[in-house]
């Protein structure tokens, strides 16, 4: 079956990406020794190299997979809820809220310590989505079924613009922080650690599960709110759950990695091309493909200009934009 | 390396590229030595070209923290009416909300300045002030110690404190010489990592101003191999590179709470860094971020802090 | 077999009463046709019966008030086909018809063998099995209509609500669809309520007609009782002649005034 083949292929893609990433890096570790160390066999990797492999490189690979999977899932979730394939995981004020949170933390709290900026970005992201959702549903209260999709999207744009404007204002008051904020905005996994992995794991698990379990519901939603309700679904409730779960997924990702674009919008499209439009396939496929893609993108980011790093958002955009065009060319009908 | 250090210490201003001073009055002969007596009106060559100052300025606005320190140390403090929001030293300088990075011409003009000193010409600063007939000197970040001395002397000259400036630079040279003599200048076996920021990790190579200061002691900079022309001496490094380069001293220019918060204790706890010689020998030096980022009269303190770290470091080459 | 009755149903949209105290009933296995000019409130009434719009009054299925049912329970009994159904272009016919099983699936359940079998049976009934793997975008208008009906049938409803099921079809395809609905009615024991714009066709298939105007019931009863010249001319502001066809059903035809 098409779906099964696609899932297996995507899982293999992720496995290959992780392997490549584990063996490649600025530290130039001996491949055989690395392989032995990874398999817990006796290896002649020195203690420093071991530290590099297990404390610096591996957590970065794992975090990249987590972040990529979360962003792709969130993007696919939003695309299902809004019945619009041009929606990204940063919509509904998620990216703008995270950016504002991070900016406030860097400017007013000096970005001190490993926890301040990620927490602020996480909270900001969720707050952004909450504000957009509240605004959207309040504005569309006169619609027959309440919570019209187009209104929500527009509310998201309005809230996002507002938050970005506030961010710019704050930054202008403290121009010396512009470089720090800018580099956060461009996205980076350079601070990856096992601690970060364990911190976002619960959010990742809860949100991913919630989104994946609603694949069939998103398929029903694709025939419109009215027909979905006639089929026994509660569109408003489904939408609220999936938006909340996607917001949580995106917030968790953004908190540790900054803003990374294109993953949330392109990966679901690739998934659709491979396995058809049903969300029961698109969701799990997006998670696997997104994870593999970001691991590869990060590997590129930290090796192409070694020992310098490219901001990962630049890599995903440079790779993602042409990929997006390729995907669009093959799709004859975009959306309903 | 040692020859270059000697030349820098001798303060041969001829090697400095950015600033020179000439006095041009009918009475005194034109001279290029900084200690020539100068009277007003005078024309000096600053970062923004030739600037004429008609009379001793009594209402000076400083938009550069380094220039502020210079002004007060050469004795021109009483002539300063306003300094920018980042000028925090000395504490009694008249700090305002003026910005040196995004200057507002009208706000500056409100202070009725007879001289404005800034470190960069952003937002049309020079053009705007020139239109208002206010002389402005751009004293940019320097590339060498010699240029730093020349800048201080120019500040002294235009404010009518040339003699004080000269003795200030002489005393600076003496202190720095003493620090280097005590700690020694041949420490090629000692490697160091200078951290400007974390996540992403930016460093400074030995070609930069700060690199040259550390270079007075002969240390090896781990960022040199990573530098590419486009980086301009400030390459970005991955953690893997830093760790495998095994620096023996780490200097932190981002350790203060308001500036990155990467205190030595936090750096020591970074996952994977415990194997670095600098970490297990406790050779992580948190510098005063202000002193480490300016090129003014407190440079000897920076040199002293570096000297202290060099003297403390285990001398045998660590694995 | 379910009888449906609407009693004093009123729907207000944007403070306008679009449907005003409408009462009508259809026996189990019967076919009720809602007629009326544009804006008479036919579609809104159907949506109220389907529970898709807020209304005052009661709608009962076999004397059980539908308000006591939740959305899923109601969806198991009533299948609603809107005038312009949303057809996701990349979905295959098979996947689309399977959506009809939604009312029978638990919250986290996925379609099982029984569901696929019901969907397959519905597709066969509507003769769209050969399109099962084809995308909805690649079907003709008539084929799409049949796919939509197959989805409605797949949910094994007892009541079929059809809003203008043939307004886009030519006379041949219209007859095909209506014949199909009629045979489904007889074979599966469905109760049908539909809006139809063609008065003659409505009279041929429905056994009860309800004529609406301005949200209110103007006439209700058998085709012969409702399709009368004075009624039609006054409600539609048109000029018509009504004759009795060879099968006993009234035929309504527009008439042109000679002097124009």
**Burial of residue B95, with CB atoms counted within 10 A of its CB: 0-12 exposed, 13-18 middle, 19 or more buried:** middle
- Which of A142, A232, A333 is the closest to C90 by Cβ? A333
Which one, of C179, C124, C119, lies nearest residue C152 by Cα?
C119
How high is the pLDDT of residue C138?
93
C78·A224 Cβ contact <8 A? no
Whether B317 is in a domain gets the answer no
Distance from CA of B244 to the nearest CA of A (A): 6
How high is the pLDDT of residue B14?
38
CA A247/CA A240 separation, integer angstroms? 10
In this complex, whether C and A touch, counting 3 or more CB pairs under 8 angstroms, is: yes
Q: Examine the domain organization and report whether B111 and B200 are in the same domain.
A: no
CA B212/CA B244 separation, integer angstroms? 24
A112·B201 Cβ contact <8 A? no
Q: How confident is the model at residue B8 (pLDDT cuts 50, 70, 90)?
A: very low
Residue-range definition of the domain harbouring residue B95: 2-172
> Which chain C residues are within 8 Å of A226, Cβ to Cβ?
47, 52, 82
CB count in 10 Å sphere of residue A63: 24
How high is the pLDDT of residue B216?
92
Asked if residue B316 has pLDDT above 60, the reply is no
Q: Examine the domain organization and report whether B20 and B121 are in the same domain.
A: yes
Helix (H) or strand (E) holding C19: strand C16-26
In this complex, the chains that touch A, judged by 3 or more CB pairs closer than 8 A, are B, C
- Which of B102, B237, B260 is the closest to A308 by Cβ? B237
CB within 8 Å of C121: residues ≥ 6 apart: C154
Two structure tokens written together for A27: 């530290």
Would you say B228 and A308 are in contact if contact means Cβ atoms under 8 Å apart?
Answer: yes
- The fraction of chain B above a pLDDT of 90, given in percent, is 61
The predicted-structure confidence for A10-66, as pLDDT tens digits, reads as follows 999 999 999 999 998 877 788 888 888 888 888 888 888 888 888 889 999 999 999
Interval B135-154 mean pLDDT: 94
Higher pLDDT, B5 or B249: B249
Residue of B nearest to A192 (CA): B271
Measured over all CA atoms, what is the biggest interatomic distance in chain C, rounded to whole angstroms? 68
- Which of A56, A191, A311 is the closest to B243 by Cβ? A56
A113·B266 Cβ contact <8 A? yes
Strands (E) in chain B, as ranges, are: 20-21, 42-46, 49-53, 60-62, 80-83, 115-118, 136-138, 191-197, 201-203, 220-221, 236-237, 249-252, 284-286
Would you say A15 and A296 are in contact if contact means Cβ atoms under 8 Å apart?
Answer: no
How high is the pLDDT of residue A143?
54
Residue of A nearest to B270 (CA): A193
> Which chain B residues are within 8 Å of A307, Cβ to Cβ?
226, 235-238, 240-241
Asked if residue B40 has pLDDT above 50, the reply is yes
Q: Examine the domain organization and report whether B296 and B260 are in the same domain.
A: yes
Whether B221 is in a domain gets the answer yes
Whether B318 is in a domain gets the answer no
Residue A198 contacts B where some CB pair is shorter than 8 Å: no
A75-89 core/surface letters (b: 16 or more CB in 10 A; e: else): bbbbbbbbbbbebbb
Report how far apart the first and last C-alpha atoms of chain C are (Å, whole number): 51
Helix (H, G, I), strand (E, B) or coil at C164: coil
The answer to whether the peptide bond before residue B200 is cis (omega within 30 degrees of 0) is yes
Residue A236 contacts C where some CB pair is shorter than 8 Å: no
Report the predicted TM-score, pTM, of the whole model to 2 decimal places: 0.83
Residue A84 contacts C where some CB pair is shorter than 8 Å: no
**Count of structural domains within chain B:** 2
Residue A330 contacts C where some CB pair is shorter than 8 Å: no
DSSP structure class, residue C137:
G
Would you say B78 and B72 are in contact if contact means Cβ atoms under 8 Å apart?
Answer: no
Q: Examine the domain organization and report whether B149 and B72 are in the same domain.
A: yes
Would you say C102 and C75 are in contact if contact means Cβ atoms under 8 Å apart?
Answer: yes
- The fraction of chain C above a pLDDT of 70, given in percent, is 99
CB within 8 Å of A171: residues ≥ 6 apart: A103, A107, A177, A178, A181
Whether B178 is in a domain gets the answer no
How high is the pLDDT of residue B22?
39
CA A271/CA A290 separation, integer angstroms? 10
Helix (H, G, I), strand (E, B) or coil at C17: strand
Two structure tokens written together for A236: 């408003």
CATH 3.40.50.150 is the classification of domain A2-49+69-330? no
Task: Provide DSSP, B73-109.
Answer: HTT-GGGEEEE-TT--SSTTS-B-S--SSS--HHHHH
Residue A144 contacts C where some CB pair is shorter than 8 Å: yes
Half-sphere exposure of B80 (CA within 13 A, CB side): 28
Q: Examine the domain organization and report whether B144 and B200 are in the same domain.
A: no
Phi-psi region of C164 (alpha: psi -120 to 50; beta: other; left: phi over 0): left
CB count in 10 Å sphere of residue A74: 37
CB count in 10 Å sphere of residue B173: 17
CB within 8 Å of C185: residues ≥ 6 apart: C29, C31, C160, C191, C192
> Which chain A residues are within 8 Å of B243, Cβ to Cβ?
27, 48, 51-52, 56
Residue ending a domain, among B172, B202, B237, is B172
Q: Examine the domain organization and report whether B113 and B27 are in the same domain.
A: yes
Residue of C nearest to A336 (CA): C88
CB count in 10 Å sphere of residue C219: 17
**In angstroms, what CA-CA distances link B281 with A2, A106, B313, B317, B318?**
59, 31, 8, 12, 10
Q: Examine the domain organization and report whether B139 and B191 are in the same domain.
A: no
- Which of A28, A48, A311 is the closest to B246 by Cβ? A48
Would you say A192 and A200 are in contact if contact means Cβ atoms under 8 Å apart?
Answer: no
Whether B177 is in a domain gets the answer no
Q: Examine the domain organization and report whether B47 and B139 are in the same domain.
A: yes
In this complex, whether B and C touch, counting 3 or more CB pairs under 8 angstroms, is: no
Q: Examine the domain organization and report whether B147 and B66 are in the same domain.
A: yes
Residue ending a domain, among B138, B172, B206, is B172
A224·C108 Cβ contact <8 A? no
CA C220/CA C23 separation, integer angstroms? 10
CA C78/CA B206 separation, integer angstroms? 80
CB count in 10 Å sphere of residue A143: 14
Whether B131 is in a domain gets the answer yes
Average pLDDT across each block of 10 residues of chain A; the chain has 336 residues. List them in order.
Answer: 88 94 85 85 82 89 96 95 84 90 86 74 92 84 58 88 93 79 85 89 95 96 93 92 93 91 91 92 96 95 82 89 80 47
What residues does each domain of chain A span? 2-49+69-330
The answer to whether the peptide bond before residue A31 is cis (omega within 30 degrees of 0) is no
Q: Examine the domain organization and report whether B17 and B164 are in the same domain.
A: yes
CA A93/CA A259 separation, integer angstroms? 12
The answer to whether the peptide bond before residue B182 is cis (omega within 30 degrees of 0) is no
Instruction: Report the CATH number that the domain containing residue B62 is assigned in CATH.
Output: 3.40.50.1980
Q: Examine the domain organization and report whether B55 and B133 are in the same domain.
A: yes
> Which chain B residues are within 8 Å of A193, Cβ to Cβ?
270-271
The predicted-structure confidence for C190-217, as pLDDT tens digits, reads as follows 999 999 988 999 999 999 999 999 999 9
Q: Examine the domain organization and report whether B195 and B293 are in the same domain.
A: yes
In order of their start, the domains of chain C are 4-254 (3.40.50.300)
The predicted-structure confidence for C72-125, as pLDDT tens digits, reads as follows 999 999 999 998 899 999 899 999 999 999 999 999 999 999 999 999 999 998
The number of C-beta contacts closer than 8 angstroms across A and C is: 75
Asked if residue B79 has pLDDT above 80, the reply is yes
In this complex, the chains that touch C, judged by 3 or more CB pairs closer than 8 A, are A
Whether B127 is in a domain gets the answer yes
CB within 8 Å of B260: residues ≥ 6 apart: A110, A111, A112, A180, B197, B198, B254, B289
The answer to whether the peptide bond before residue B263 is cis (omega within 30 degrees of 0) is no
Torsion of CA B211, B216, B220, B225, to 10 degrees: 40
DSSP structure class, residue B111:
T
> Which chain A residues are within 8 Å of B86, Cβ to Cβ?
176
């Amino acid at each position: 079956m098409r779906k099964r083949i696609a899932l297996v292929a995507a899982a293999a893609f992720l496995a290959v990406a992780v392997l490549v990433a584990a063996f490649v890096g600025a530290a130039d570790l001996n491949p055989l020794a690395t392989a032995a160390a990874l398999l817990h066999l006796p290896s002649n990797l020195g203690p420093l190299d071991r530290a590099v492999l297990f404390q610096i490189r591996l957590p970065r690979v794992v975090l990249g997979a987590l972040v990529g999977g979360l962003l792709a899932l969130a993007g696919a979730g939003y695309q299902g809820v809004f019945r619009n394939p041009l929606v990204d995981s940063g919509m509904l004020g998620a990216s703008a809220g995270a950016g504002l949170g991070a900016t406030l933390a860097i400017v007013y709290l000096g970005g001190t310590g490993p926890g301040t900026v990620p927490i602020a970005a996480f909270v900001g992201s969720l707050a952004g989505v909450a504000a957009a959702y509240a605004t959207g549903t309040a504005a569309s209260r006169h619609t027959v079924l309440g919570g019209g999709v187009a209104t929500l999207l527009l509310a998201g744009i309005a809230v996002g613009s507002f938050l970005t404007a506030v961010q710019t204002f704050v930054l202008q008051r403290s121009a010396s922080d512009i470089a720090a904020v800018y580099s956060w905005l461009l996205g980076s996994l350079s601070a990856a650690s096992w601690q970060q992995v364990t911190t976002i794991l619960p959010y990742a698990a809860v949100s991913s599960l919630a989104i994946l379990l609603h694949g069939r519901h998103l398929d029903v939603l694709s025939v419109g709110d009215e027909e979905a309700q006639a089929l026994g679904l509660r569109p408003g409730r489904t939408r609220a759950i999936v938006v909340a779960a996607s917001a949580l997924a995106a917030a968790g990702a953004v908190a540790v990695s900054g803003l990374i674009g294109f993953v949330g919008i392109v990966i679901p499209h690739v998934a659709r091309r491979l396995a058809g439009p049903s969300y029961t396939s698109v969701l799990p496929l997006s998670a696997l493909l997104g994870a593999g893609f970001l691991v590869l993108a990060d590997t590129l980011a930290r090796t192409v200009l070694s020992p310098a790093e490219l901001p990962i958002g630049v890599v995903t955009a440079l790779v993602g934009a042409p990929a997006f065009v390729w995907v669009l060319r093959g799709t004859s009908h975009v959306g309903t | 390396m040692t020859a270059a250090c000697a030349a820098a210490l001798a303060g041969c201003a001829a090697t400095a590229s950015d600033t020179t001073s000439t006095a041009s009055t009918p009475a005194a002969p034109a001279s290029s030595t900084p200690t020539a007596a100068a009277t007003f009106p005078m024309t000096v060559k600053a970062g923004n070209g030739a600037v004429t100052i008609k009379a001793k300025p009594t209402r000076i606005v400083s938009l550069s923290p380094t220039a502020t320190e210079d002004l007060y140390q050469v004795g021109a403090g009483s002539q300063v009416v306003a300094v920018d929001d980042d000028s925090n030293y000395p504490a009694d300088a008249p700090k305002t909300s003026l910005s040196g990075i995004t200057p507002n011409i009208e706000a500056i003009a409100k202070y009725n300045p007879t001289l404005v000193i800034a470190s960069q010409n952003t937002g049309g600063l020079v053009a705007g002030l020139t239109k208002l007939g206010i002389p402005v000197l751009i004293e940019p970040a320097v590339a060498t110690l010699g240029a730093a001395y020349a800048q201080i002397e120019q500040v002294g000259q235009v404010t009518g404190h040339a003699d004080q400036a000269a003795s200030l630079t002489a005393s600076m040279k003496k202190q720095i010489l003493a620090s280097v003599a005590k700690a020694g200048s041949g420490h090629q076996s000692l490697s160091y990592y200078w951290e400007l920021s974390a996540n992403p990790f930016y460093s400074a190579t030995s070609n930069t101003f700060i690199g040259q200061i550390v270079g007075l002691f002969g240390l090896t900079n781990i960022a040199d191999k990573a530098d590419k022309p486009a980086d301009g001496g400030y390459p970005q490094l991955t953690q893997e590179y830093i760790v495998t380069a095994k620096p023996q001293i780490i200097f932190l220019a981002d350790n203060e709470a308001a500036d990155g918060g990467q205190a030595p204790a936090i750096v020591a706890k970074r996952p994977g860094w415990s194997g670095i010689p600098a970490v297990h020998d406790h050779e992580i030096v948190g510098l005063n971020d202000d002193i480490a980022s300016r090129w003014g009269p407190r440079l000897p303190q920076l040199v002293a802090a570096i000297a202290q770290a060099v003297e403390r470091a285990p001398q045998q080459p660590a694995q | 077999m379910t009888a449906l009755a609407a009693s004093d149903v009123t729907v207000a949209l944007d403070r306008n009463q679009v449907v005003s105290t409408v009462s009508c009933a259809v026996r189990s296995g019967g076919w009720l046709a809602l007629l009326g000019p544009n804006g008479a409130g036919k579609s809104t009434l159907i949506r109220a019966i389907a529970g898709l719009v807020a209304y005052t009054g009661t709608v009962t299925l076999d004397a059980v008030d539908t308000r006591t049912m939740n959305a899923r329970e109601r969806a198991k009994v009533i299948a609603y086909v809107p005038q312009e159904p949303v057809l996701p272009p990349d979905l295959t016919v098979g996947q689309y018809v399977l959506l009809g099983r939604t009312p029978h699936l638990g919250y986290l359940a996925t379609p099982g063998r029984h569901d696929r079998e019901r969907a397959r049976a519905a597709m066969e009934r509507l003769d769209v099995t050969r399109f099962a793997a084809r995308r909805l975008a690649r079907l003709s208008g008539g084929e799409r209509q049949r796919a939509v009906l197959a989805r409605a049938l797949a949910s094994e409803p007892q009541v079929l609500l059809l809003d203008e099921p043939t307004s886009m079809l030519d006379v041949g395809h219209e007859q095909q669809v209506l014949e199909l609905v009629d045979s489904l009615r007889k074979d599966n024991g469905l109760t049908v309520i539909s809006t139809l714009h063609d008065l003659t066709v409505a009279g041929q298939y429905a056994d009860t007609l309800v004529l609406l105007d301005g949200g209110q019931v103007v006439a209700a009863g058998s085709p012969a009782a409702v399709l009368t010249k004075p009624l039609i001319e006054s409600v539609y502001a048109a000029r018509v002649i009504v004759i009795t066809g060879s099968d006993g059903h009234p035929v309504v035809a527009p008439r042109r005034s000679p002097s124009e």
